[in-house]
Structure 1
Amino acid sequence: MFTPRSVRYLGLAGSLLTALGAYLGGAELLRGNAYNVVNLLSGDRGLLLPVCWVVGTALLIRAWWNGRRVVPSTRWALVTAGLWALPLLPFLPLGSEDVYSYACQGYVQLAGGDPYATNAQAFGCPWLGSVSQAWRDSPAPYGPLFLLLSAAAVRAGGSLIGTVAVFRLIAVAGVALIAAGVPALARRAGVAPAKAAWTVLACPLVLVHLVSGAHNEAVMIGLLVAGLALVAGRRTADVPGPQPADGEPLLPRTAALVLGGALLGLAVGVKATAIVVLPFAVLAAVPRGTSLRALWRPGAAVGGGAVGALAALSLFSGRGVGWAYGLLRSGDTVEWTSPSTSIGMTVGRFVAVFGVHVDALPASRLIATVLLVPALVALWWWARRGDALLGAGLALALTVVLAPVFHPWYAIWPLAVLAATWTRAETNFTRWVLVPCAVAATLTIPDGYNWALATKTQGSLLMTAALVALVVWLVRRNRAEREGAGHASLLAPERADLR
């Protein structure tokens, strides 16, 4: 039987072991010294490194999983998650070496170069040896806000170690914004704030990839949940839904919508994928079922705030809209953890058995990207009469599932919103959200190498088989529901006669 005390210290033990793993084999400053799956057990570190990593991750997952049932308060959740994060702060990044790419992109920006038109290798970044080979010749795929933050980190940090430390401070600030935004968003949606805060902040993905790995998702998600909470929380008294606790909004409604839209625009200025939330933010500002004609005022306020923030960022950074070009290279990595990539890999290997050599990867990725548009439109239409805030979380989930690349920290995008807005069956939330997050937390090793890179053939076959099984299950369940509804309608007159 788990208690709040046992959960707290079980997770702390896991965090300490994980921190020891970061000390022994985190993402090294020079890639030549980094570990990978092949030599994980070699060297003077022997079995200590993998044991610390595996056991520490397992303890964190177990404590996070069981803590959902015993979390006593929001404050307890925040304090416990903060306690778990502390041991990770002094050591090398875990789970990814992306922070070194950030440093080189910031160096290019600070030196007057254009990170969207050039790359770290061509510009001569002095820290190139720390950057993964996959990203040395790629332009920056991030928005203008993160370019400005990266340049500021390089200026403040001076050396590579100092720059990484500043990036970690930026990530911790982003996590603090998440800690403020998630409980507020949960209150708007009628979800227990303590449980929502725990589900997000104590998740091992947040600890490893946001706190330790210093991924820019921390800033993006923090801005996103804060913007959604602000837009959804400022409603006049005649509008159904949660009202401010003090009875009066802190800001006039239009001003709050503009500010919330600006925060969402800033989130897009970190990563463009945050843009899928904007249409749902407009719906969150009005009652369910509002006519399309009545959406123009909140749409103008939220959209105007977002566009204004993006325009200011593009102008201030001096890079205009060139960041859209960097997105074209964001799918360079090939991993079976992306469903569309997995299907393309499987098709290519299947036809190769018959002597036909076809690269099906571009086609499968393109199909998934094209499908995302009508899927988001259909989801938005449902959210008009359903739940706009839940729709925003589901939109992020769709974006992750249909993206050409999936990295473990991408799972935090939908988790942060869905944990605060999911009011349906708890079993479905566990099955479709928490289980994938728990699995994603096991996909990397301390130095950032992803198991998906070492298991491409096996993983793509298993992923494709799982997708086929899922489709068959959904079709059968839908058919059974229709048959059940048909039987009920046939029996209705007979039951009426019996009465």
Structure 2
Amino acid sequence: MASSVDLRRCQVLGLAGTAFLALGGETAGALPVRELLAPSSAGAALGLVGVYFGVVLLIAAWAMLGRLLRGPEPPSPRALLLVLAVWAAPLLLAPPLFSRDVYSYLAQGAMVDARIDVYTHGPSRLGGPLADEVAPVWQHTAAPYGPVFLAAASALSGLTRGELPAGLVGMRLLALAGLGLMVAALPRLARHSGADPAAALWLGALNPLVLLHLVAGAHNDAMMLGLLGVGLVAALGRRPVLGAVLVTLAALVKAPALLGLAAIVVLQMRGGRHPARAALTTAAASAATTVAVTTVAGTGYGWIAALNTPVSPHNWALTSLLGRATGALLERLGSDLAPLAVPVWHAVGLAITAVALLMIWLRLRPRPVYALGLSLAAVAAFGPAIRPWYALWGLFLIAAAAPDTSVRHRVAAVTCVLALAVLPSGGPADLGQLLLAVSGGVLAVVVLWQARQAAQAPVLGRTA
């Protein structure tokens, strides 16, 4: 096992990082409207510096932990789970960070509880304090989530009676339950794929994006990924029907998990089942689950038509950026085709995604978990909408099934970039906020460098 001193250093450094995140979030996070500070205020500025100081400390601790895993005595999966608990602890009671989506979840749950059609109306139809907390861009948009999540959100609304603090805690508990399922699934998926369970936990559960967006942000992607993971574990255990049911439940949280049914079919084929029978069994289990859950939830099938909701006008997905740039160029040239630029690029992105999925499954069918991870990564990368936490769709399964260390290194590098991509308030950044964020990160780098120099000084003195 890794040196207890080195492991403790990782724990303490990561704990310091998440503690700064939680403290900074008290003034710079995605706070309730009545608690929001002006971005130019001293409190908000100090909080923003503190958050980015904490993010860089957390990234450094995670990188140090990764080096321990490659050492002669790597930490055990159990030791890594303790590290995860320590790092996550300060975030449990912190305000929402990096997104205001959790307020949308609460408003949508209250709408279902009030029998308002969330697939026709936005939170503005609900009105009242909860709706006021939703970001303006989502006030009039339909919910893109399936009946599993909406049923959970509705139940939470009933339990908390619309009280915001209790609702926020409840949503974070739902996210933690999803994270628990992810943690349970990762080692099992890794063993099946011939990967190191500890390395899978490091990349897939202790990842800064998990802590920042699934724990601190309380995103429902945790529920989706948790159900998807345990569904794949069930299928690997020769329980394909249960696997199909669980994967369908994941897709009824967020639709991308539906791709997991392809892995269920492939796993049955590897077990000797005829392809047609495997596909029919999986489709029947999925259809029955969808009908049963939708009937019980009473929300209908409107989520299918609402899947384009995350495509906000100014999102920074690759195809959206190219579409806006092309549209601006066409406008400058006086072309009437400018309004078509974004839809055309979105269509191109979907076509690229389809080709990528076909190539992935043709080449990697013997490795269905890894193929599914790459497929979900392609959906996130080339789809019409992107958020940093969407990267976790593919990352979770790539962590479990990556064939070599170089793949993990590349994914880890992407993680470090995305961890710095969003302000803790979840809003757009102006120049002043960018400078404050950079200042916090640079300050953390300086502190880490000084700490390293101080640690090396006694060694250099003894060898002089």
Shorter chain as denominator, the TM-score bin is 0.7 to 0.9
Structure 1 residues 16-35: Cα deviation after superposition (integer angstroms, max 9, x where no partner) = 111111222211111x7546
Alignment of 1:26 onto 2:20: no
Q: Say which of 156, 161, 172 aligns to 1:168.
A: 172
Of the candidates 406, 411, 424, which is equivalent to residue 391 of structure 2?
Answer: 411
Whether 2:127 is the aligned partner of 1:144: answer: no
Query: Which segments of structure 1 move beyond 6 Å, counting only runs of 4 or more?
Result: 452-455
Contact 1:108 1:125 in 2 (8 A): no
1:429 & 1:195 partners in 2: Cα distance?
9
Q: Deviations over 1:330-383 (max 9, x none)?
A: 2124223x1111211222233344344713112101221233223323322223
Q: Does the 8 Å CA contact 1:314/1:320 hold for their aligned counterparts? A: yes
Partner of 2:424: 446
Residue 366 of structure 1 aligns with which residue? Answer: 347
Q: Is the 8 A contact 1:281 1:392 kept in 2?
A: no
Report what 1:116 is aligned to: 119
Deviations 1:242-292 (A, max 9, x none): xxxxxxxxxxx4xx111111110000010011112211221133439x7xx
Partners of 2:389 and 2:76 in 1: CA distance? 26
In the alignment, what sits opposite 2:246? 263
- Whether contact under 8 Å (2:209, 2:392) holds in the other structure is yes
Aligned to 2:453: none
What residue in structure 2 maps to residue 203 of structure 1? 207
State the 1:413 CA deviation.
Answer: 0.8
Number of the residue aligned with 1:222: 226
SS of equivalent residue, structure 2 residue 306: helix
Matches within 5 A, 1:58-457: 58-71=56-69, 72-158=75-161, 159-232=163-236, 234=237, 253=238, 256-287=239-270, 294-336=274-316, 338-356=317-335, 358-359=338-339, 360-384=341-365, 386-424=366-404, 426-431=405-410, 433-451=411-429
What does residue 469 of structure 1 align with?
none
What SS does the corresponding residue of 2:270 show, helix, strand or coil? Answer: coil
Please identify, of 90-99 and 195-204, the stretch whose mean Cα deviation from structure 2 is larger: 195-204
What amino acid is the match of 1:316?
V
Determine if contact 1:335/1:406 at 8 Å carries over to the other structure: yes
Query: Which amino acid in 2 is paired with 1:220?
Result: M
**Aligned equivalents of 2:106 and 2:128: distance in 1?**
9
Distance 1:174 1:343 in 2: 34
SS in structure 1 at match of 2:308: helix
Matched-pair identity in %: 33
Unaligned runs of 5+ in 1: 235-252, 456-499
Local SS of the residue matching 1:328: coil
Residue-by-residue CA offset, 1:217-255 (whole Å, 9 max, x unaligned): 0100000111112212x2xxxxxxxxxxxxxxxxxx4xx
Q: Distance in 2 between matches of 1:297 and 1:403?
A: 31
For 2:432 and 2:230, how far apart are their aligned partners in 1? 38
CA deviation after TM superposition for structure 1 residue 408, in Å: 0.8
Deviations 1:165-202 (A, max 9, x none): 11111111111111101111111111111111111221
**Distance in 1 separating the partners of 2:313 and 2:128:** 22
2: CA distance, partners of 1:451 / 1:69 = 33
In the comparison of the two structures, how many residue pairs are matched?
422
Instruction: Using the TM superposition, name which of 57-66 and 218-227 deviates more.
Output: 57-66
**3-state SS of 1:326 partner:** coil
TM-score, with normalisation over the residues of structure 2? 0.86
1:451 deviates by 4.7
**Gap change, CA 1:34 and 1:361, over 3 Å in 2:** farther
- Superposition deviation, residue 48 in structure 1: 2.1
2 CA distance for matches of 1:46 and 1:113? 36
Q: Distance in 1 between matches of 2:12 and 2:132?
A: 38
User: Are the equivalent residues in 2 in contact too, given 1:443–1:452 (CA < 8 A)?
Assistant: no
> Structure 2: 5+ residue runs without aligned partners?
70-74, 434-464
Go from structure 1 to structure 2 and tell me whether the alpha carbon gap of 1:381 and 1:12 turns closer, same or farther (over 3 Å shift): same
TM-score normalized with structure 1 length = 0.80
**Secondary structure of 1:285 counterpart:** helix
CA contact (8 A) 1:333 1:405 kept: no
Evaluate the alpha carbon distance shift between residue 295 and residue 113 of structure 1 in structure 2; reply closer, same or farther with a 3 A threshold.
same
User: SS where residue 67 of structure 2 aligns?
Assistant: coil
- How large is the Cα RMSD of the aligned pairs? 2.3
Q: Residue 304 of structure 2 aligns to a residue in which SS?
A: helix
8 Å Cα contact 2:25/2:48 also seen in 1: no
Q: CA 1:316/1:125 → structure 2, altered by over 3 Å: closer, same or farther?
A: farther
Deviation (angstroms), 1:387 = 1.6
1:454: Cα distance to partner?
11
- Report whether the alignment pairs 1:45 with 2:43: yes
The 1:68–1:342 alpha-carbon spacing in structure 2 relative to 1, beyond 3 Å, is: same
Matched, 1:13 2:13: no
Does the C-alpha gap of structure 1 residues 311 and 135 become closer, same or farther in structure 2, counting only changes over 3 Å?
Answer: same
Please state how far the C-alpha of 1:415 moved relative to its aligned partner.
Answer: 0.8
Q: Is the 8 A contact 2:102 2:171 kept in 1?
A: yes
